[in-house]
Chains A and B, each alone.
Chain A
Amino acid sequence: MPGATPEQAQVQILDPTSATDEEIDPAVDRDRIRVLSGATESAASFQFDGEDHTLGNALRYVIMKNPDVEFCGYSIPHPSEAKMNLRIQTYDGVSVYTVLDKGLEDLMAMCDVVEEKFKVARDDFVNKMEE
């Protein structure tokens, strides 16, 4: 199994409404993230637009797996607003941005492993059934 490096793991992010497979402008994703007021280098709350428990809880889990993290939690402030808040506090002045970045990387690497192992298990099962 190849080690998941960020370079090889990239998938194109296409605009689902575009007939010519245009990519979504990164500025769109930039605008979906906000750092809430009161943030310091080692403690910050992020707000993500259009995200919910699906990413919130999964991301909270991998970030909590990081030993530099003192606290990580997420909340959906209001059920009818598609917004997700993520709070990260770190030990020893470690930057919350690197922690968040590592969390996203780890989660993506985990997805690659799940995909790979699922395909192998499925193909093995199909072959076994055919015998």
Chain B
Amino acid sequence: MSTPSAEELIRRKKLVVGPETVSNQASTDFPGHWPGENNEWDLEYFKKTFTVDFHSHTPNDTSFSLISLDTSIANAFRRILLAEIPTLAIEDVFIYQNTSIIQDEVLAHRLGLIPLCGSHSGLNWMKWYSKPTDDNEGSGSPSDYNTVVLRLKVDCTWQDGGLQRAVAGETDPDKLYVNHNVYAKDLTWEPIGRQGEMFPPGEEIRSTNPDILIVKMRPGQSIHLSMHAMKGIGQDHAKYSPVATASYRLMPTIDILQPIIGADAKKFARCFPRGVIKLDTVTTEDVKKHAELEGKEGELKAVVDNATNDTVSRECLRHPEFKDKVKLGRIRDHFIFKIESTGQWESDHLFLESVKLLKVKCQRIKRGLDEMMK
């Protein structure tokens, strides 16, 4: 069994971006593709090559690279992040009074999309509620372990002397009315059963973003409703998705094949986002390597500084002066992930949860297969 050289391996995993086309897109690390090579699944090899590199890490926004992983696996994690990690969201809205100008169904939809948060141990303790159907009784009636009750009761009224001020020409609603803006912080949680102890003060169920505007009202209008929040997954409704976005992009590469110098270097740098290309000076070594640089020592020269920030806009490929001097590409097994959480769970926790869920999927299929083979 032969092993390819390091250069060959890099060449193989480089996706080539041309002015109008992409080439070398599909991975080829399968047994039988390259004659004389193994390419069999090898856990030890995976342990050796797979790397995780963190770029930034805050509770709701994490960015990291997964290197030496196939697209199918990285994509599985991304898909699970978007659609299969359970979260709590408002599912049922019982409207007793709604005289605002927002229709009941639109209001209910807006309420559903509000991200909620609360004690992590409490959220883990909570189970799913399955609605009863004709042939399945589901979870029966909602209970403390599967339903959270929230209420909203707001009446918009005039401020003291607001009407007189309006007659006098005042138009600023803040100076005229009370409760004319209803925010997510106005939702009140009503603990039932054991919820009081599971969600202690400071970790109670509330909106992650208290200033989300739900409705605007005017004097005489009122809203009175109660809500049932339940656990669900993004596959059923986008409101259950734990992330605002979870996405990856491939690591860009820029190879300068022939020196780009002088005014061209400045123009070249402007073809990329700031920080991608830096300007250096032509050195004696450069002159030794490239005969055409004779006598141009000390002039400006374009050098790749940080290709990560490149957007691969291909702008540099539009200019004839850079023709055959630059090659753009992406590394097929270098995924720059960005996970933005909506706030119910931390971003890094969500990624670990996605890995766990993929494993559980495999385990369940394996279990079923074992049963089948009995």
Spell out A's residues near B (CB within 8 Å).
1, 3-4, 9-11, 13, 16-19, 24, 26-27, 29-33, 35, 48, 51-55, 57-62, 64-67, 69, 97, 100-101, 104-115, 117-122, 124-126, 129
Contacts and interface: CB of A to CB of B under 8 A. Distances in A.
Pairs of residues from A and B, 10 with the lowest C-beta to C-beta distance, nearest first? A29-B368, A65-B41, A125-B54, A30-B371, A121-B52, A67-B31, A111-B359, A61-B72, A57-B72, A58-B76
B94 interface: no
A119 B356 CA distance: 13
Contact of A53 (B53, B79, B359): B79
**Max chain B CB contacts within 10 Å: which of A112, A119, A125?**
A125
**Max chain B CB contacts within 10 Å: which of A10, A29, A100, A109?**
A29
Main secondary structure of the interface of A (DSSP, over half): helix
Given A10-B363, A13-B364, A54-B80, A26 B358 contact: no
Contact of A4 (B43, B75, B360, B361): B43
Contacts of B77: 114
A34 B46 CA distance: 32
Interface string B120-133: 00000001111000
Contact of B363 (A19, A69, A108): A108
Interface residues of B, number: 61
Contacts, number: 170
Contacts of A66: 31, 40-41
Contact of A117 (B43, B51, B143): B51
Contact of A104 (B53, B64, B366): B366
Contact of B369 (A9, A100, A122, A129): A100
Contacts of A122: 52, 54, 57, 64, 348
B110 to A, nearest CB: 27
B359 A65 contact: no
B139 to A, nearest CB: 5
Contact of B361 (A55, A61, A97, A126): A55
A31 B372 CA distance: 9
B289 interface: no
Contacts of B46: 110, 113
Given A30-B371, A58-B75, A125-B57, 19 more contacts: A9-B359, A17-B127, A29-B365, A29-B367, A30-B367, A32-B364, A51-B361, A54-B80, A58-B73, A61-B70, A61-B72, A100-B369, A104-B365, A110-B73, A117-B50, A117-B51, A121-B53, A124-B54, A125-B54
Nearest to A6: B366
B207 to A, nearest CB: 24
Contact of A115 (B39, B53, B64, B355): B355
A62 B148 CA distance: 41
B355 A60 contact: no
Nearest to A119: B352
A17 B355 contact: no
A27 B362 contact: no
Contacts of B365: 29, 32-33, 48, 51, 55, 104
Nearest to B55: A125
Nearest to A82: B235
Contacts of A114: 50, 52, 66, 69, 73, 77, 355
